[in-house]
Structure 1
Amino acid sequence: MTPAREPADDAAKLAEEIATIAGANSWTVAVAESLTSGRIASQLGAAPNASSWFAGGVVAYASEVKFKVLDVDRGPVVTARCARQLARGVARLMDADFAVAATGVGGPEPEEGNPAGTVFLAVSSASGEEAEHYQFDGEPAEVVERTSATALQNLLVLMRKHAH
């Protein structure tokens, strides 16, 4: 019987693939994080040759940081609109070719009328932003792990579409 793969193992593998594609295409990547509090950035930063392709990130946990630093429209922040604006804002701020953004409710309590585990992820490239809604079960730490791995997966899919 094969042991179940941990989301953290998946995330490291995804980050390595992102590193390979970014390096091969001379692309840069940035991240805007709320729910995940820098976890995605730390996974990307630990990937091979990160200094050549990882532009950096913004941990915009407080709503005011989203509004003031990343030009997110005032209003609810647990939305697809917010995720798209986070991705667009950090791509512009970091002058990155690709960006990924995460916002949501880790729990245990609901926020903005959304239950714990509500997640919005967005990816950004020169062709625009795409956002997805997810509902993850589990404790807050599990929601953060799954969100981080899924964000990396979404970024990788977008980068593969644009790769030479």
Structure 2
Amino acid sequence: MTTEETTDLGERIADLASSAGTTIAVAESLTSGAIASALGASPQAGDWFAGGVVAYSEHVKFDVLGVTPGPVITASSAEQMAAGVGRLLSAGFVAAVTGAGGPGTQEGREAGTIFLAHGRPDALRVDELHFDGDPEEVVHATVDAALNALARDLEEVRG
């Protein structure tokens, strides 16, 4: 995803969140704050972007976000991260990502395996995604997927 595409998507999310009168929060593992950075650079972010938690280490996932201890590259971990950040930041919409960025396998998951939880904290969807490329390309693809998922979720509210 290019910077221009990220900017356009951020502007779309800003418009949708503002129109819906809602807030967004993110919890990130493998993207290490890249989703929050993209959202924070969007128009009037102070009005609709509640913030994010970079939960790179397991203890942050467990102790801060309330993820059940165990493997963290799972659909349930992504879902619990999303619910946890929604609780912490009182957000109307959330997204959370965890995965194996590569270059090798992690927790038995192939490089590029990503779990993305998104939606309202009480009605989350979890997508299992698979991206090719080096770790940087996997991170960029994950950011793109998370921003697109948030935009779709917000568009559903608009009807």
Match of 1:147 in 2: 142
SS in 2 for 1:150: helix
Q: TM-score, normalised by structure 1?
A: 0.93
1:33·1:101 contact (CA, 8 Å) conserved in 2?
yes
Match of 1:3 in 2: none
Residue 149 of structure 1 aligns to which amino acid in structure 2?
D
| Alignment pair present for 1:162 and 2:153 | no
**Cα deviation per residue 1:110-157 (whole Å; 9 max; x = unaligned)?**
100001101000103054110000110001000000000100101111
Pairs within 5 Å for 1:1-164? 6-125=1-120, 127-163=122-158
Displacement after TM superposition at 1:162 (Å):
1.4
- Mapped to 2, the partners of 1:127 and 1:63 lie a distance apart of 23
Distance change in 2, residues 1:99/1:137 (3 Å): same
1:80·1:131 contact (CA, 8 Å) conserved in 2?
yes
Unaligned runs of 5+ residues in structure 2 are: none
**Cα deviation per residue 1:38-96 (whole Å; 9 max; x = unaligned)?**
00000000000000100000000001100000001111110111111111110110000
2:27·2:53 contact (CA, 8 Å) conserved in 1?
yes
- Mapped to 2, the partners of 1:37 and 1:120 lie a distance apart of 14
- Mapped to 2, the partners of 1:33 and 1:16 lie a distance apart of 21
SS in 2 for 1:138: coil
Distance change in 2, residues 1:127/1:67 (3 Å): closer
Residue 19 of structure 1 aligns to which amino acid in structure 2?
A
- Mapped to 2, the partners of 1:85 and 1:7 lie a distance apart of 30
Residue 61 of structure 2 aligns to which amino acid in structure 1?
K
Residue 101 of structure 2 aligns to which amino acid in structure 1?
G
- Mapped to 2, the partners of 1:8 and 1:112 lie a distance apart of 32
The total of aligned residue pairs comes to: 159
- Mapped to 1, the partners of 2:132 and 2:7 lie a distance apart of 22
1:30·1:99 contact (CA, 8 Å) conserved in 2?
yes
Displacement after TM superposition at 1:10 (Å):
2.4
Q: TM-score, normalised by structure 2?
A: 0.96
